[in-house]
Amino acid sequence: MLEARSISAWFGDHKVLDRVSLTMEAGKITALIGPSGCGKSTFLRILNRMHEMIPSASLAGEVLLDGEDIYAATRRLTDARRDIGMVFQKPNPFPAMSIYDNVVAGLKLTGIRAGRDSKDVLVEECLIKAGLWKEVRDRLRQPGGGLSGGQQQRLCIARSLAVRPKVLLMDEPCSALDPTSTRVIEETMLELAREVTIVIVTHNMQQAQRVSDNCAFFLASQGTPGGIVEHGDTEVMFGSPTDSRTFDYVNGRFG
């Protein structure tokens, strides 16, 4: 289980999130929804310590993975990144590196040793889980940059899975993809949710309804920092939300 407690975030003096708390259940898909500029992606990046890479950024609060604070002084950054993977909006495979080497790239970065046979098994397993194996099994030594956009995104998912994360964060993973590729990625997410906790930022309300178990609606109004208006079961959030602002947003009245 991944739990954010009273997360506030700043870029310099500009506060972008104010005391956001959210529990993201293990084995479930949680969708973060809300209009642009309300702090969804910032919140997502805080969940695996990417926010701190920005020189002017700061934050307060705790992020607990299975009860342990990923920001604790005793916790190594590489451990946090191994446990909590990230898939970005734009596919970012290493373009000159082979499909095979893309998948195993994270092993060296996180200090995981593996022999050739172990790597072979891992590459096949991760590409199967990412829904890509049948399409690329005969060209594993070809560059990852030669794949289509949707295939590159699934390669990035396979790369994230290779280090056996507990959580997979996805920042609008389908926004640059065509409808067919989007459907495949969504099917992949639903399969993966059996093994990993998934948190996805999406502006696509239909996608949030299709894939997520739970939703959190972020909003920042009139220059105030972003916060969660309402969160809970996706069907309830879309069917009978308790806050009128949630109803207006999910029904396309603003945002």
Task: Tell me the pLDDT tens digit for each residue of 126-167.
Answer: 999 999 999 999 999 999 999 999 999 999 999 999 999 999
Residues of the chain with pLDDT under 50: none
Residue 110 is predicted with a pLDDT of: 67
**Rounded-to-integer distance, Cα 99 and Cα 93, Å:** 9
Q: Is residue 144 part of a domain?
A: no
What's the pLDDT score for residue 254? 81
Residue 30 lies in a domain: yes
Q: Please, is 251 exposed, middle or buried when counting C-beta atoms within 10 Å of its C-beta (0-12, 13-18, 19+)? A: exposed
Q: What is the pLDDT of residue 79?
A: 86
Q: What is the CATH number of the domain that holds 190?
A: 3.40.50.300
Predicted TM-score (pTM) of this structure: 0.94
Q: What is the pLDDT of residue 23?
A: 98
Task: Kindly state whether residue 157 falls inside one of the protein's structural domains.
Answer: no
- Domain containing 243: what range? 2-92+166-250
Q: How many domains does the chain have?
A: 1
| Angle, CA 171 vertex, CA 246 and CA 121 arms, to 5° | 135
In a domain, 139, yes or no: no
Q: Report yes or no on 65 lying in a domain.
A: yes
* Domain assignment present for 154: no
